[in-house]
Amino acid sequence: MPNQDIVKWPDDVAGRYRAQGLWRGGNLGDAILARAADRPDAVAVHDPETSLTYGDLVATADATAANLAAADLRAGDRVLVQVANTWRFVPLLLACLRRGIVPVMCLTGHRDRELTHLAELTRARAILVTAVVRGTDHLALARRVVERSRLERAIDVDTLVPCVRSEGSPPADMSAGAVPGGEDPALFLLSGGTGGLPKAICRTHDDYEYNARTAAAVCEFSASSVYLAVLPLGHNFPLACPGILGVLGTGGTVVVSPSPRPEVCFPLIRRHRVTATALVPTIAQRWLDRVRQDPASRADLDSLRLLQVGGSRLADSVASRIGPELGCALQQVFGMAEGLINMTRLDDPYDVVVGTQGRPMSGHDEIRILDEDGRTVDDGSPGLLVTRGPYTPRGYVNAATYNRQAFTADGWFRTGDVVRQRPDGNLVVEGRDKDIINRGGEKISAEDVEEIAYRCTGVLHAAAVALPDDSLGERVGLAVVARPGQTVTMDDIHAEMRAAGAARTKYPDQLHVVDAFPLTGVGKIDKKTLRLQLAPAHEERTTA
């Protein structure tokens, strides 16, 4: 059985989701392109270089599917995808979905260490890459990973995804033959959560289609919506919350931005009359700064109706500036690759939009807030958020042992987030109970940073912690106890990071050599106290 590494929803629960019409049993790619036949001439995708109509998109996805088949990739195969933000991502994704080839959504920041791990974890057969991204030769990287892993080949997406014009002809039907769908795997998202290297989350055709459709409904997307995809396209937020899949599923247009910089995004918004986009708080802040510095640039944002912000905590003081300074509505989104998406609603009162991270997007989401003993907290008290629902899978891929920790016996996912629920149902994220660093929305496992730090000969003990950062929200702090008579410098640590082939975002931003770590009662490193001890040193940081 090829999918034995995947945890399915229990049969009775799946049956209920189907009976309620939440899960529709089809192929996600087909569902997303359902509107293409009615409007082959409408624009589906723009990027700074190319525009594709819905007809072109189907024709291009079709040609891509043929190229995937020619590369001997078949339904059920898994492929690592490390693609830059360009138009090619969209037909590539649709081709994979319609052929049942399962993309594993890697980030362009991933290097040898993460890619090799993901290849083994997911038992992927190939890696599909944009050859060069911001000066990094990803094809060379991919070839190196092929040599060191079970991967059979590296393929440049420029050759895999040709631009095919449909010349107004109705889109061909690619769906002939057995098309995977329903509860089959559609794609794997990655979790940067706890426990070392990234884990994979299998999202099915049914659950992800429901995810994109529900988010699009909450955000009131329609055929006139124009969505600017700014964040890395393989991330759940720009992909399906509602993102690319949500906007295409309603017949709208996606504009792909190669960069989050306001100098790049603002002209794209103006040129394509963008109506909605999604940002992490760090980038939202940069956009606000841009408008403050150059008030005329605000005119570029005229068409923008909705700015979604999520991925890490948006400070109330920044939230309150978005409406008045950017001239669009704010929606806070508190989501996760593992499923549950919370959103403030478009007609929510000001205090909800500015002061909360919203509530579950579906009435079928179940949430509970628990104390450390697993009991529901008193109303309004902070506690650990757990969740189940029609788009929250019941386990990570190929992670039986870890799943026993991350999920309760009755299938609730432990998010690791500490929240409180207001009487109006909205959640406020108060903190977290998981050992990660949320660096500008990118999640870094403290354990992985420590694992590499321990390779440094001078390091006796290592602890990575989140430290405050004015622009990123959090930065990677590393505290070490040196071996007697030895020194440890930032250069030593960075050299180990390089030797390990780790993603650049994991490199510590700040290093502290301390005499000893504070310990908890049971003798574990007390990271809460350590963070407090290091945070005041914020000003004297050593920056790489």
- Taking the least distance from each CB to ligand OOB, the nearer of 184 and 417 is 417
Residue (of 152, 150, 160, 96) closest to 118 by Cα position: 150
- Taking the least distance from each CB to ligand OOB, the nearer of 310 and 477 is 310
- Taking the least distance from each CB to ligand OOB, the nearer of 14 and 503 is 503
| Residue where the block lists tokens 């009615």 | 38
For the bound state, the minimum distance from the C-beta of residue 310 to ligand OOB, rounded and expressed in Å, comes to 4
Query: HSE on the CB side for 40, CA within 13 Å?
Result: 14
d(CA 182, CA 206): 5
108 lies in the site for ligand OOB, by CB under 6 A:
no
Structure tokens given for 131: 């050859």
Closest chain position to ligand OOB (CB): 335
For the bound state, the minimum distance from the C-beta of residue 408 to ligand OOB, rounded and expressed in Å, comes to 16
For the bound state, the minimum distance from the C-beta of residue 28 to ligand OOB, rounded and expressed in Å, comes to 17
334 lies in the site for ligand OOB, by CB under 6 A:
yes
For the bound state, the minimum distance from the C-beta of residue 267 to ligand OOB, rounded and expressed in Å, comes to 25
For the bound state, the minimum distance from the C-beta of residue 416 to ligand OOB, rounded and expressed in Å, comes to 6
333 lies in the site for ligand OOB, by CB under 6 A:
yes
Q: Are strands 276-279 and 226-229 parallel, antiparallel or unpaired?
A: parallel
Residues 6+ apart with CB under 8 A from 173: none
Ramachandran region, residue 72 (left: φ > 0; alpha: ψ -120 to 50; beta: rest): left
391 lies in the site for ligand OOB, by CB under 6 A:
no
d(CA 91, CA 83): 12
Q: Find the binding residues for ligand OOB in span 281-310 (CB under 6 A).
A: 310
* Residue span binding ligand OOB (CB under 6 A) among the ranges 219-227, 298-306, 311-319, 364-372: 311-319
For the bound state, the minimum distance from the C-beta of residue 55 to ligand OOB, rounded and expressed in Å, comes to 31
d(CA 307, CA 284): 9
337 lies in the site for ligand OOB, by CB under 6 A:
yes
Ramachandran region, residue 138 (left: φ > 0; alpha: ψ -120 to 50; beta: rest): alpha
* Given 99, 111, 205, 313, the residue binding ligand OOB (CB under 6 A): 313
For the bound state, the minimum distance from the C-beta of residue 534 to ligand OOB, rounded and expressed in Å, comes to 21
For the bound state, the minimum distance from the C-beta of residue 356 to ligand OOB, rounded and expressed in Å, comes to 10
Residue (of 384, 388, 277, 397) closest to 339 by Cα position: 388
Residue (of 197, 202, 174) closest to 186 by Cα position: 202
Could you give the string, one character per residue 179-208, with x where binding to ligand OOB holds by CB under 6 A and - elsewhere?
------------x-----------------
In 110-141, which positions are buried (b, 16+ CB within 10 angstroms) versus exposed (e)?
bbbbbbbbbbebbebbbbbbbbebeeeebbeb
357 lies in the site for ligand OOB, by CB under 6 A:
yes
215 lies in the site for ligand OOB, by CB under 6 A:
no
For residue 188, the cross-strand partners are 104, 202
506 lies in the site for ligand OOB, by CB under 6 A:
no
In 346-363, which positions are buried (b, 16+ CB within 10 angstroms) versus exposed (e)?
eebeeebbbbbbbbbbbe
- Asked if 437 and 474 count as a contact pair (C-beta separation under 8 A), the reply is yes
d(CA 222, CA 240): 15
Q: Find the binding residues for ligand OOB in span 432-471 (CB under 6 A).
A: 432, 438, 443
Could you give the string, one character per residue 412-431, with x where binding to ligand OOB holds by CB under 6 A and - elsewhere?
---x-x-----------x--
* Residue span binding ligand OOB (CB under 6 A) among the ranges 54-62, 156-164, 328-336, 395-403: 328-336
* Given 130, 225, 312, 505, the residue binding ligand OOB (CB under 6 A): 312
Q: DSSP code of 355?
A: H
For residue 476, the cross-strand partners are 466
- Taking the least distance from each CB to ligand OOB, the nearer of 443 and 506 is 443
d(CA 162, CA 68): 12
- Taking the least distance from each CB to ligand OOB, the nearer of 317 and 543 is 317
252 lies in the site for ligand OOB, by CB under 6 A:
no
341 lies in the site for ligand OOB, by CB under 6 A:
yes
Q: DSSP code of 25?
A: -
474 lies in the site for ligand OOB, by CB under 6 A:
no
336 lies in the site for ligand OOB, by CB under 6 A:
yes
* Given 27, 225, 236, 445, the residue binding ligand OOB (CB under 6 A): 236
* Residue span binding ligand OOB (CB under 6 A) among the ranges 16-24, 118-126, 216-224, 233-241: 233-241
For the bound state, the minimum distance from the C-beta of residue 232 to ligand OOB, rounded and expressed in Å, comes to 10
Structure tokens given for 469: 């950062």
d(CA 287, CA 504): 24
d(CA 243, CA 247): 6
Q: DSSP code of 530?
A: H
Residues lying near ligand OOB in the complex (CB under 6 A) are found at: 191, 236-237, 241, 310-313, 332-337, 341, 357, 415, 417, 429, 432, 438, 443
